[in-house]
Amino acid sequence: MTDELCTRPATELAELIRTREVSAREVLEAHLARIDAHDGQINAIVTRDDDAARAAADDADARLAAGEVVGPLHGVPVAHKDTHQTGGMRTTWGSPLHRDTVPAHDELVVARLKAAGAIRVGKTNVPEFAAGSHTFNTLFGATHNPYRHGLSAGGSSGGAAAALAAGFVPLAEGSDMGGSLRNPAAFCNVVGLRPTPGRVPSHPTAIGWSQLSVQGPMARTVSDVALGLSVLAGPDPRVPISLGDPGALFAAPLPTELAGLRVAWTPDLGGRVPVDPAITAVLEAQLSVFTDLGATVVEDCPDLTGADEAFGVLRAWLFEASFGDAVRRSPELVKDTIKWNAAVGAGLTGADVGRAEVAHTKLYERVVEFFTRYDVLLAPVTQVLPFPVEQEYPTSVAGTEFEDYLAWMRSCTLISATGCPALSVPGGFTPDGLPVGLQVIAAPRADRRVLEVGHAFEQATGHGLRRPDLG
């Protein structure tokens, strides 16, 4: 029964707890036992407070017994990314500068999950300050891929993705600037959503007007991600870019057919990114699924001119604003890639940022026009397959050398610059048994559409049901 509970979707667990077929305490104990049994080889959960979690689960059961009205995640275990502040629980950002930091308050994404009744299990591993799409740091070491020990789980929400794949929690949250929700989801055969900027308000944040980094849900099924989004989404008056739509819009059932859907497919984002042929082969074999579900599929891609400039300049500007002081104060405690990115930001001129913003605006307008002709764009999530954990980042793929530590993530960073919602959904496996993610992209603010399309594809293929063998 213990392992069986750990493979159930969050939607099912929430229903079982609400109807009192199983207690919140039983569900929690099953997941804690699974973490105890297997996290030693994966290293996904880096901070725990089992006593507090048990007290919260007991309180959840008592409230149900008393007949209280409860939230949609009542009693469901969740894990929080170690870059998101948790009141009373250590938050390190994966940095030795914060090895003992214990925030006084929850940040908004954590508070909303708690308000919905979720039980906090612990914190998930991250790369230092969430920089880079491979999860390792000097405090806790590397997170291993549950499907192949010794390989990367991706990042920066790699601990979250690995925890989901391993059955440690049914629901998690993360953040995504250049692929940090999507890349690890693809590497670990789970689902990760980069919402439209403002869909999930981020607070507190030093630069509230920026639309580059977003927060969002991760889970093993699209329905669970939709459930998570229904709790996390919704306006907040303190966040200037927050969207006004209520989160409840995402709680409605998702379709399993795609009749009339207009689909564009690009294997390489219009020739802009090199992709491992093994990934392309897996994903091209999936296109017939969409036609079988009633969609039309053609190869096309929006003009992404300016996306590299917009992302690169605005990311560097954010890194200087966020980490520049730490680099200057304690350079020996900050990894080289962060120092490099902050230095690039420090060297920017006002004219550089201005040109990037002009390119950003033109890009947005072209992408919006593209989605008057198509409902969704399909693309690879990653350009590479999971790589050895000892490697900081891939340096080449398909005969192309990468110029820096960001270049291997361009299949995601180019999309980040567009402002579009993008979903990573399990897209199949290589003959060698490594997961491949399919990226489903829609027009800005069309978050529900990517969930609908991802759900129909997921139900038709069952790729997400293939779970790792943890021994």
How far apart CA 302 and CA 269 sit, in angstroms, is: 8
Q: Is 213 a catalytic residue?
A: no
Q: Is 362 a catalytic residue?
A: no
How far apart CA 347 and CA 90 sit, in angstroms, is: 34
Whole-number Cα distances in Å, 395 to 194, 403, 404, 411: 25, 8, 8, 15
Which residues, other chains included, contact 11 with Cβ-Cβ below 8 Å and sequence gap of 6+? 221, 223, 224, 227
Contact by Cβ (8 Å): 202, 173: no
Q: Which of 81, 114, 123, 335 is catalytic?
A: 81
Q: Is 180 a catalytic residue?
A: yes
Helical ranges in 256-349 per DSSP H: 277-284, 287-292, 307-329, 336-346
142: β partners: 136
CB-neighbour burial class of residue 165 (10 A; exposed 0-12, middle 13-18, buried 19+)? buried
User: Which of 37, 34, 31, 33 shows the shortest CA–CA distance to 13?
Assistant: 31
Q: Measure the N-to-C terminal CA separation of the chain; round to a whole number of Å.
A: 17
Angle, to 10 degrees, between the axis of helix 10-18 and the axis of helix 24-42?
A: 150
Handedness of CA 152, 157, 163, 164 (dihedral sign): negative
Q: Which of 95, 133, 157, 180 is catalytic?
A: 180
Whole-number Cα distances in Å, 342 to 69, 327, 329, 382: 48, 8, 13, 25
How far apart CA 131 and CA 429 sit, in angstroms, is: 27
Q: Which of 23, 95, 152, 156 is catalytic?
A: 156
User: Which of 186, 134, 135, 193 shows the shortest CA–CA distance to 165?
Assistant: 186
Active site residues: 81, 156, 180
